[in-house]
A and B are shown apart, each in its own frame.
Chain A
Amino acid sequence: MSWFMRHALPILTVVIAIMVLWYAGAVGLNSKWAYDKAKRANVELSFSGLIADTLSQIKPKLPAPHQVVAEIWRTTALKNITSRRSLVFHGWITLSATVLGFFMGTGLGILLAVGIVHSRAMDMSVMPWVIASQTIPILAIAPMVIVVLNAVGVSGLLPKAVISMYLSFFPVVVGMVKGLRSPDHMQLDQMRTWNASKVQTLWLLRLPSSTPYLFTSLKIAMAAALVGAIVAELPINQNGGLGARMLVGSYYGQTIQIWSALIVAAVLAAVLVALIGVLQNITLKRMGMAR
């Protein structure tokens, strides 16, 4: 009960407040169109009529939450998942690019971190550029990367994954450099007294003690990878994906479609990050590092 009062209740309150604001916003933003319609039909719009109309327009400025939920239900559960109208189909395309990019980024990040920890020259030369690479708005290059890779003959998943990779390697590098350096002098000296080689020190001491840092970075990297995949789908119309769905929606003013793609992307992000959280709990518990 106290857990409920301390954690669930405040979150619930905030979520409900957001919902109320959302409905109010939907009524406010859509009222102009409702009034215009009523004027043309020469009818006086009552207050309840206004509410009913603003929450059920086909192309509203801001769709009401229940409209979005209905659209999501219609395009996920009621559609064949291989259909191009199914959000599961589009979500799967985005998800595969995200996961591929995430693994590429994590691999690159860990390799770079190992190099940086072991070579001072690499630390001094690469690290500033790793940080600088993130002040560059890489997402701006997304269309070009895709066009260029398409021209070379690489199309489909890989160009999107490359952008996901670029966004997700950074938190891994930063987190892993910190993690690989986290063993203290005492432990490093102990390895030296055992005459452990550099590889053994890395494998038996540095890597295990970096796991908590790794998982924290992985969560950020996963969220970033999803953003990368979605934005990679925005610039040119491609063969499906949540980003393409948003683009098409914005071309044709299908706001409900945009919002449902947005919400599905949000749920996807939450599920992916939660998955890593579960993995983190299990791993750290088995390693005896759980707090």
Chain B
Amino acid sequence: MNWLIGAIAFWLGAWVLNLWLAKRPKMKLAAFVVPTLFGITLLILWEGVVRGFQINPVLLPAPSSIGIRFASSIPTLWVDFVQTFMKGALSGFVIGCSAAFLTAVAVDRSPFLQAGLLPVGNFVAALPIIGMAPVLVMWFGFDWQSKAAVVVVMVYFPMLVNTVQGLKASEPMQRDLMRTYAASYPQALMKLRLPAAMPFIFNGLKISTTLALIGAIVAEFFGSPIKGMGFRISTEVGRLALDMVWAEIAVAALAGSAFYGCVAMIERAVTFWHPSQR
């Protein structure tokens, strides 16, 4: 019972502190402290509830036991991470996004194809493409190639739609200026329209980071070698070793957030001129 009371007391304390911090004039530090405190509060509440109600660790392990499991099985987690993220998700992400980008540039000169591709691409991007996973595992075998293929299919259409839209983003005035400079098509593309498209392209890339990890993990449910995050999750769920599953999820969460953060940082460097970055 003490655990529960302690957790609730911490929650109230953190709440009051957060309210106080939020009321104060804007500080750089507060923007970092407030969400961190909130996250820690959630973890402590979780720990307190698990210990206070003595929840069976098969149902919901406490964060502390997940942490211990995480620390003790780092080699396994690393092998899984390399298999799923480095080989499956990352290679698929690179192939899929560059293929979509090249397609978008290729159809750029034909308004006819664009008018056809945009609605179809938008439609396909909203479809449950993840359902292709069993088919692609059947085609490309159990190893990382099939995972990369799933990722390629998943990221292709969101990326394509965003790039095609981005290439249309430059203003008529700016395009006219290019014409008065007698700029050739490649020049106008490189100097004006691609830079103007960057916010859209990075939007597509950011959506794709999450999709890539999801695709690689879910594809492993349909067959994989005896390593990989999806494989580990589905087998450890079968053995009811939920602390290992949560450790895998922690890895996925860290990898996903770091991947997203990397792309967002590159975006900040490339599109420094955009109003949303200032």
CA distance A129 to B35 in the complex (A): 7
Contact sample, A vs B, 13 pairs, CB 8 Å cutoff? A29-B139, A124-B18, A124-B22, A129-B39, A135-B210, A135-B256, A136-B249, A137-B214, A148-B60, A151-B58, A223-B126, A235-B237, A265-B131
Given A6-B115, A259-B135, the answer on whether A125 and B128 have CB atoms closer than 8 Å is no
CA distance A29 to B135 in the complex (A): 13
A152 contacts chain B at the CB level, 8 A cutoff = yes
Contacting residues, chain A, for B222 (C-beta < 8 A): 234, 247, 250
A183 contacts chain B at the CB level, 8 A cutoff = no
A140 and B19 form a contact (CB under 8 A): no
A-B residue pair count with CB separations less than 8 angstroms: 171
B115 and A144 form a contact (CB under 8 A): no
Contacting residues, chain B, for A258 (C-beta < 8 A): 131, 134-135
Chain A residues near B (Cβ < 8 Å):
6-7, 9-15, 18, 29, 61, 119-121, 123-129, 132, 134-141, 143-144, 147-148, 151-152, 219-220, 223, 226-227, 230-231, 234-235, 242-243, 246-247, 249-250, 253, 255, 258-259, 261-262, 265-266, 269-270, 273
Contacting residues, chain A, for B196 (C-beta < 8 A): none
Contact of A136 among B60, B229, B252 (CB under 8 A): B252
B37 contacts chain A at the CB level, 8 A cutoff = yes
A265 and B59 form a contact (CB under 8 A): no
B245 contacts chain A at the CB level, 8 A cutoff = yes
B59 and A134 form a contact (CB under 8 A): no
Give me the 9 closest cross-chain CB pairs, A-B, nearest first.
A10-B116, A250-B134, A14-B116, A125-B38, A121-B22, A10-B115, A223-B126, A128-B35, A136-B253
Contact of B257 among A10, A136, A231, A250 (CB under 8 A): A136
User: A14-B116, A138-B214 are known contacts; what are 15 more A-B pairs with Cβ within 8 Å?
Assistant: A10-B114, A11-B119, A14-B117, A15-B120, A120-B23, A123-B22, A129-B35, A143-B234, A230-B130, A243-B131, A246-B131, A250-B134, A250-B138, A265-B131, A270-B126
CA distance A226 to B135 in the complex (A): 19
